Amino acid sequence: MPHDITDLRFFVTITESGSLAEAARRLDVTASAVSQRLRHLEASLGMQLAHRSTRRFMLTEEGELFHAGVVEMLANLDGLVDRLRARSGEVVGTLHVGGPLGFGRHYLAPAIAQFHALHPKLMVSLTLSDVVSAADANRFDLIVHIGQLGDSSMVAYPIAPNSRFVCAAPSYLAKRPAPREPKDLAQHDCIVLRENGEDVTLWRFRRKRSEAAVRVPAILSSNDGEVAKQWALQGKGVVLRSEWDVADSLASGRLVRLLPGWSLPDADVVALVAGRTGMSARVKLFLSFLQARFQPAPPWRR
């Protein structure tokens, strides 16, 4: 039987990675090293845990049972260690945090730096990506997410309110009259952000009981929100962006909000936590820290 708990954590990592290549990337080792270690684990157990190739990793029936048992055991062990350390007032261990690129750079990274200063014995790993999947629930202790999330087992905790605005630079509006109704946007140059597989050229508006949906022409598009905003600042067209990202530009006059009488679906900032197990003490503490940091109003509304 394996006697090293790192073997068990290793098995959980490669199982949740979906392939040996991805597991090697996450563990920062070679794929051959991952395969060799898995063979040793199987030999010690006397059973095959998975069918695998370079691109595919599929658990056997025994592997499924072993994985479920190991996940439960590690969760119980981690919870016990957290409770024991909490009795001494220590916050230690590793906190795995995920978040979106732009918001992560501007707000999440500074928050983590301050949190770590309060708890220097804690190790924090931050991964930034604008693509969130259900599998990420097992990779991270907490994920900061903006906007709606598709079907997921993760539980959302509110962090901060965040509206979305349609904006353009004064230089663009000097050439093109500002839209008076959402339908007018169909005649404008529009900049769209490709993210989360959404229908990004269909913009939906609401005013009291009225609703309007307009298909905008995507003159420029990018998967990077900072690029989309910079194009708008350069007068290239109309952009739909989160309040947190454009509040400073609106306040300075570098961008102008359009259609202020109409609202778009909010994209609030939330913390996502896997719902099938209880939160560790360090995750609870970090969640409370984030919520307090963005209250009573987030920075973009102060």
Of the candidates 105, 102, 85, 104, the one whose C-alpha atom is nearest the C-alpha of residue 93 is 85
CB-based contact 229:140 (threshold 8 Å): no
Q: Over pLDDT 70: what percentage of the chain?
A: 88
- Tell me the average pLDDT across 254-275: 93
If you write DSSP's letter for every residue of 166-195 in order, what string do you get? EEE-HHHHTTSPPPSSGGGGGGS-EEEE--
Structural domains of the chain in order of their starting residue, each with its CATH number: 5-84 (1.10.10.10), 91-158+268-301 (3.40.190.10), 164-258 (3.40.190.290)
pLDDT at 6: 84
pTM for this prediction? 0.72
Summarize pLDDT for 213-237 with one digit per residue, the tens: 999 999 999 989 999 999 999 999 9
The 3-state DSSP class for residue 34 equals helix
Report angle CA 253, 192, 205 to the nearest 5 degrees.
75
Summarize pLDDT for 162-203 with one digit per residue, the tens: 999 999 999 999 999 999 999 999 999 999 998 766 788 999
The 3-state DSSP class for residue 253 equals coil
- Count Cβ atoms below 10 Å from residue 283 Cβ, excluding itself: 21
Confidence of residue 258 (pLDDT cuts 50, 70, 90): very high
Confidence of residue 34 (pLDDT cuts 50, 70, 90): confident
CB-based contact 146:100 (threshold 8 Å): yes
Confidence of residue 260 (pLDDT cuts 50, 70, 90): very high
Whether 4 shows a pLDDT value over 60: the answer reads yes
| CA distance linking residue 107 with residue 266, whole number of Å | 19
CB-based contact 193:222 (threshold 8 Å): yes
Whether 145 shows a pLDDT value over 90: the answer reads yes
Whether 55 shows a pLDDT value over 70: the answer reads no
The overall average pLDDT reported for the chain is 87
Whether 87 shows a pLDDT value over 80: the answer reads no
pLDDT at 254: 98
CB-based contact 291:270 (threshold 8 Å): no
CB-based contact 243:300 (threshold 8 Å): yes
Summarize pLDDT for 70-80 with one digit per residue, the tens: 888 877 777 67
Question: Tokens 């709606």 map to which residue?
Answer: 148
Whether 132 shows a pLDDT value over 80: the answer reads no
Question: Tokens 């090697």 map to which residue?
Answer: 24
